[in-house]
Structure 1
């Protein structure tokens, strides 16, 4: 019997020769495999330092060039050469100094009509009816004929800039009530009464109005109580506007809460002339003395302020210091609530004291622990802000490398 041949084995799945059986590739030799370099920590640190050093050297070279280009481009953009042809002749230093110092507050003086200046700062001692210079009137020795009706706050328009009907109704009712109108609040009149402001062009009338604010039919103590009540009610009826920092409402509250102090300020008399200090400030060609009446509103004295250093300056600063010390025994407390009484003066008094003492001497302004670190107001040119921003941005990118090191 024949034995059948054994079955053939199944084909192997590996139909190709093993990699080892291949001929060696010329690229597979050990000489063609790059060895991994081992870099020490010391070498890495040195390389980072060199990179930072190179960046710093480039920064020293590039930053000045960038600033020069910015300055030149800003000058060219904001002042095209063709504008030199159309511009006025170059002013002298004295003319520039006069122009810089000849400015007026927004609310304290009459609005300018076309090309004819009506404010006393622009045309001191002038009148709306005559071009003859006016002399400084003295305090009336007998009661003058006070205008009836007397100028009132918000006499032109209360406005519609209110968020709530309750606040608008409160302003309308307040300005039409006898307890308010009879007290003739100087602080509000000087800020919001067009008739009172325009009276500055007639010194006789202005002198009569000042007398009227100092001699009201309602006693001064009763007026203070009335104004305190109006201030408390305003905080309730206008709480939404106050929380939104509505300028008109906040300014009115500030003026009402400063009623008693500003009444005394308006009635100060210059002993050398027997005239109201406010009248002396109005007629003076130097507007600096008028600026002091804006301190309770939170407006800083301009750096160009040059007070006359008179008895009026000393009396007004003494009045402010006394009022602040009574209202805020701890003047070191920071002003965080602008609705508090005399908050505006608390903010501005410290800087005004420094300026007044530098100009007039330490005796002209009592020094108290002012809560504000602000100085006299100033506005930085837009080009300066842009250059500073560019420097800070570029520096942050350079020094950002140190945080990675």
Structure 2
């Protein structure tokens, strides 16, 4: 009786009774899983980092874009804190209710060159933003829509009124321009503005600016470069630097630099300095005084321009060069400071997502090793 050889028995035991099958290499199978996981993680990582980079990039100035606007002949008028749209005939027939008289006691000795202390009484309400009849041409079936509602809402907000932003008065406030004719009234305006908490008001107005651009509020009008909406946006986002410049005082006279600029004809060119944060360039004919107020105001602007998303970063350099041509090469810094890192612009909503993805990535790498 013959028995199969040892080699034939081994082959029979390995193959079994069925047909032969190729052996699967465990290392190769594991390597394939590792590659698939890494590719999946990378495909999730790239869109997130691209979105963050796009969000962190400096926003372009809205005034550099051009758009064709349709002119609405109706006139929006602020009546008792609310905007109303009316025809020219209705506007002519409108009899405004005169506001109640308020009395303020103001020490104006700081705004004069005399050493004596005097007290002056100012009467009348404080200036308010958007109090003129501007051709707004807001979007909406009735010429107003949600944008005007939003504007009326924040104008009535006690928080907005407590901040009393100078940046929102510089453009589009008729009562503010009237107040600049009076030393007493403009001093009262600046004092009221400087009483606000700069930190909390900066946060509030930056958030308000984002709400302004929302499609639920004035997003459509912002895209159409509506004059009122653009002015509002500039004023909200430039609050911090104009608070600093507006509240700056000359240590020799204790006068507010802004008050001196708008009431003293010898330094009339200094008025243009306060338009720089609103994306308005210094006129070529303007020759600001080579004094403490000019120097310190430009220092405030230089520090603010480190945030390249601010409008002052667009207008600072040319203004500084123009001032130095009159006051000397090193009177003010003519270069922008180092830009804030882009990572500082990542929102608090994005940061946790990025952190969680990073942790997941490290965990998977440790698992597949």
* Superposition TM-score, scaled by structure 2 size: 0.55
The answer to whether the aligner puts 1:346 opposite 2:307 as a matched pair is no
Deviations 1:178-234 (A, max 9, x none): 111111010111222222210122111211221111113xx2222122212211100
| Distance of 1:361 and 1:306 partners within structure 2 | 12
Q: Do 1:158 and 1:171's aligned partners in 2 also have CA atoms closer than 8 Å? A: no
What are the equivalent positions in structure 2 for 1:6-405 lying under 5 Å apart? 137=111, 149-157=125-133, 160-164=136-140, 165-216=145-196, 219-236=197-214, 237-286=217-266, 287-325=268-306, 327-328=307-308, 340=309, 342-343=310-311, 345-369=312-336
| Distance of 1:263 and 1:142 partners within structure 2 | 26
More strand by share: 2
Shift of 1:370: 9.0
Taking a change above 3 Å as real, the CA distance of residues 369 and 318 of structure 1, as seen in their structure-2 partners, is closer
Please identify the structure whose Cα radius of gyration is greater.
Answer: 1
Taking a change above 3 Å as real, the CA distance of residues 235 and 346 of structure 1, as seen in their structure-2 partners, is same
Q: Do 2:181 and 2:263's aligned partners in 1 also have CA atoms closer than 8 Å? A: no
Taking a change above 3 Å as real, the CA distance of residues 323 and 281 of structure 1, as seen in their structure-2 partners, is same
Taking a change above 3 Å as real, the CA distance of residues 135 and 200 of structure 1, as seen in their structure-2 partners, is farther
| Distance of 1:159 and 1:243 partners within structure 2 | 17
Shift of 1:305: 1.3
| Distance of 2:120 and 2:245 partners within structure 1 | 20
| Distance of 2:177 and 2:249 partners within structure 1 | 20
Unaligned runs of 5+ in 1: 1-133, 329-339, 372-405
| Distance of 2:233 and 2:121 partners within structure 1 | 30
Shift of 1:152: 1.6
| Distance of 1:220 and 1:316 partners within structure 2 | 17
| Distance of 1:143 and 1:280 partners within structure 2 | 18
- Please say which of residues 138-147 and 278-287 is displaced more in the overlay: 138-147
| Distance of 1:301 and 1:241 partners within structure 2 | 28
Q: Do 1:186 and 1:266's aligned partners in 2 also have CA atoms closer than 8 Å? A: yes
Q: Do 2:110 and 2:254's aligned partners in 1 also have CA atoms closer than 8 Å? A: no
Shift of 1:247: 2.3
* Superposition TM-score, scaled by structure 1 size: 0.50
* Local SS of the residue matching 1:173: helix
Q: Do 1:242 and 1:249's aligned partners in 2 also have CA atoms closer than 8 Å? A: yes
Taking a change above 3 Å as real, the CA distance of residues 221 and 138 of structure 1, as seen in their structure-2 partners, is farther
| Distance of 2:231 and 2:139 partners within structure 1 | 16
Q: Do 1:347 and 1:370's aligned partners in 2 also have CA atoms closer than 8 Å? A: no
Q: Do 1:136 and 1:280's aligned partners in 2 also have CA atoms closer than 8 Å? A: no
Taking a change above 3 Å as real, the CA distance of residues 142 and 255 of structure 1, as seen in their structure-2 partners, is farther
| Distance of 2:169 and 2:280 partners within structure 1 | 17
* Local SS of the residue matching 2:230: helix
Deviations 1:114-153 (A, max 9, x none): xxxxxxxxxxxxxxxxxxxx99725999999786753221
Unaligned runs of 5+ in 2: 1-107, 339-369
Taking a change above 3 Å as real, the CA distance of residues 269 and 303 of structure 1, as seen in their structure-2 partners, is same
Q: Do 2:136 and 2:228's aligned partners in 1 also have CA atoms closer than 8 Å? A: no
| Distance of 1:222 and 1:189 partners within structure 2 | 19
Taking a change above 3 Å as real, the CA distance of residues 227 and 142 of structure 1, as seen in their structure-2 partners, is farther
